[in-house]
Amino acid sequence: MVGAWGNIVGLIGSILAVLVDVTLYGAFFLGKRRKSTCVLIIGVAIIVSYAFSLFAERHCGYTLKMLFEVAFCYVLCALLYQSRWDRRLFVIVTCYAVLYSITYWADTLCMSFLHLTYEEYVWNIPLYSSMFLLRAFVLLAISLVIRKYRPPISVSKQARAWVPLSVVFPLSTLLIIWQIYTFPNEQEIWQICLLILDVVDVVALLLLDHLEQSAINREKLVAAAERAHVQDENIQALSQAYAGQRKMTHDYRAQLSTLSELLEQGNLAEAQSYLSEMKAHQSERILLINTHNAAIDAVLNQKGYAGQRQGIDMRFRVNDLSALKLPRVDVTIVLANLIDNAMEACVQMPEAERWVSVQILYGHEMLSISIINPSRPVQITGGQIASTKPEPLLHGYGLRNVEDILEKYHAEYTFSFEDARFVFTADWPDTNN
């Protein structure tokens, strides 16, 4: 009878424990699965948790139990939520340490109030079971409150060096808990240390999330500045194009007047020579690219002329983009950053090897982008390009902005370095988000 009751309590405890974990992590991380998939994962997690509890009861000490539970929580979080590995590790270890501490303090207060030893407390089945379930329900309630009033933040993909270092605090907490259970005769001094570290863990969790949010806000400001810069360049390019067109129109009228006078005077040879000069001069002023999309044309032509001035062979292949529905600001930011990066890489190459191939094709509700350029060796690690600039923290936002925009529209993109060439490709669904 006792065994059956223990199994029931253990099953209920496993259900509540998994629900506490899922709810609590939901306050720190954004979900990435459909509801049906989440239910399946949670169901499997409950079965695994219950099976391990039966095994651990007979064969595992505190150390192995802690290691398994932390690893279990890590895998569960990785399956259900969007998260960076360093932040995931810190949040999981910290939450686990704090929850374990709450369990310990609840048991300690109960034993102290009822004047029971640990053995008497554990073997009092009704009392121990009641406290076990009460703790689980209280933790679930606390987790629900935290999740309700603390919405998860969207973090960058860039790992923070200081996050893994912060795991030292919750790991120290777990070490002290292990010390308390292993050496019960030395509890007083360890209890003081545990209480201090519990406070440090909570403060560290809140502080690091604040720092994460601050870092995100800084990146957003840089991204906004980048947007403003690109927009300003677009406006200048369009203004220059308009002014150039007006000047061309004025010059063209004057040239026609001159040509007309020559013809009226019967100077056919001079008229022919003058017409040839007009054609040659006009061809130099024709726009490089015409996609029938003013904003994109402005960017491409501006970058094309800028590349030519730097001795770069700018090779464009485009088609009609007049039907494109994507926001012009986002498209121009992506193109401007990618072409700027390509030209910057080209400038570091010998003059004979400076070229940039830009292909922008639209069809079947899809914008296909391909930019290829020769480059010095580029190190790509974990989907990130290692910066070679003296202050890497102040650079690299260009490509990061590109990635953020493309991911916002669920575009598929790749970048690679092979055969002394850097290649960036993207297939961008045409949707006005």
- Quick: pLDDT tens for 143-188: 888 777 777 766 666 656 556 666 777 777 777 777 776 666 666 6
What does the DSSP 8-state code read for residue 343? H
Q: CA distances (Å), 342 to each of 229, 372, 376, 380, in order?
A: 18, 7, 11, 16
Q: CA distances (Å), 420 to each of 194, 250, 307, 312, 426, in order?
A: 56, 47, 20, 16, 20
**The Cα angle at residue 207 between residues 205 and 208, in degrees rounded to 5:** 70
Write down the pLDDT at residue 318.
92
Write down the pLDDT at residue 425.
93
Q: Are 217 and 156 in contact (CB under 8 A)?
A: no
Contacts of 207 (CB under 8 A, 6+ apart): none
Architecture of the domain defined by 289-429: 2-Layer Sandwich (3.30)
Regions of the chain short of the pLDDT cut 50: 1-2, 283-286, 386, 388-397
Report which secondary-structure segment, H or E, holds 199: helix 187-264
Phi, psi dihedral angles at 253 (to 5 degrees): -65, -40
| Token couple for 377 | 């060796």
| Model pTM score | 0.53
Give the integer Cα–Cα distance in Å for 82 and 87: 11
Residue ranges of the chain assigned to CATH 3.30.565.10: 289-429
Write down the pLDDT at residue 372.
93
Using alpha carbons, select from 380, 376, 387 the residue that is nearest to residue 419: 376
Write down the pLDDT at residue 18.
79
Give the integer Cα–Cα distance in Å for 95 and 339: 45
Write down the pLDDT at residue 281.
62
Using alpha carbons, select from 33, 35, 17 the residue that is nearest to residue 73: 17
3-state secondary structure 105-142: HHHHHHHHHHCCCHHHHHHCHHHHHHHHHHHHHHHHHH
Query: What is the maximum alpha-carbon separation in the chain?
Result: 123
Write down the pLDDT at residue 248.
64
* Residue 306 CB neighbour total at 10 angstroms: 15
Q: Are 88 and 117 in contact (CB under 8 A)?
A: no
Using alpha carbons, select from 296, 314, 316, 424 the residue that is nearest to residue 369: 424
Give the integer Cα–Cα distance in Å for 158 and 356: 28
| Token couple for 328 | 């012009």
Write down the pLDDT at residue 394.
32
Write down the pLDDT at residue 141.
83
Write down the pLDDT at residue 197.
77
Phi, psi dihedral angles at 296 (to 5 degrees): -65, -40
